[in-house]
Structure 1
């Protein structure tokens, strides 16, 4: 009986060693961004708070200019959209919201800002430009 128990223990140990050797590598921690940031203009600061759960990564970007928007991690980039109600006056005299979409690389803090030349008015052209954030605190 002792010989059978020893063989079972040895077999279990061998299987455990094989399983550990072929186990998938651990996933890297999600790229969180938390703190206060500036784009070079110390008068306009963003406070970013992010977190990740099994259902995905989300956060909030708040500005000292009075706005706060949700952020989501998509394709390794933090994405958020700033909406300014009545941010544009259209050719017909009506008001339309101004939308500014941003995508930010959490590793480099480099990003892309995309706007429509007419905001939400008809006939605009989408343009994208790079931007760089710097952590203040």
Structure 2
């Protein structure tokens, strides 16, 4: 059999139907290969899709789940190309920035003169909070080490409820 190539692929001079069978076989092989490579790519996109979901914002006014009227916070948050940021304002008169980190909104409040040391002088009370925007569960970390000898770091869980 004498095979040579023309502009359409292999051309068999002795048996023209061989070229047609060859093209049909190659088409089937390419179809199988395309399917084999496309399936993992599509599956990878499906798995990666949740990572592209919008980060959970925390907007509105919240209080502790036990209804404590002295701890009411208003969150205003947004996300952009540089990350997720916002502001927390308290009914106690303070306002601090917040950022989304590790799936939680993190913020720190420092109250000047909020802590009395053993020797009687005052130091700032520093409180850090982390709030899960989905469950509204949080952790409050109170650090009295700032300026006081023998300070204590405590962590307490808390639960928020949306009030508006």
Interval of TM-score (by shorter of Structure 1 and Structure 2): 0.7 to 0.9
Q: TM-score, normalised by structure 2?
A: 0.67
Q: TM-score, normalised by structure 1?
A: 0.79
Q: Which has the larger radius of gyration?
A: 2
Q: Which has the higher contact order (CA 8 A, sep 6+)?
A: 1
Match 1:35 to one of 45, 60, 85: 60
Unmatched runs of 5 consecutive residues or more in structure 1: 4-13
Across the aligned residues of Structure 1 and Structure 2, the Cα RMSD in angstroms comes to 2.5
Higher helix share: 2
Residue 48 (structure 1) shift: 0.4
Q: Spell out structure 1 runs of 4+ moving beyond 6 A.
A: none
* Conservation of the 8 A alpha-carbon contact between 2:127 and 2:140: yes
1:102 is aligned to 129
Residue 51 (structure 1) shift: 0.6
1-structure distance, mates of 2:101, 2:44: 27
> What is the aligned residue count?
126
Unmatched runs of 5 consecutive residues or more in structure 2: 1-7, 9-33
Residue 89 (structure 1) shift: 2.1
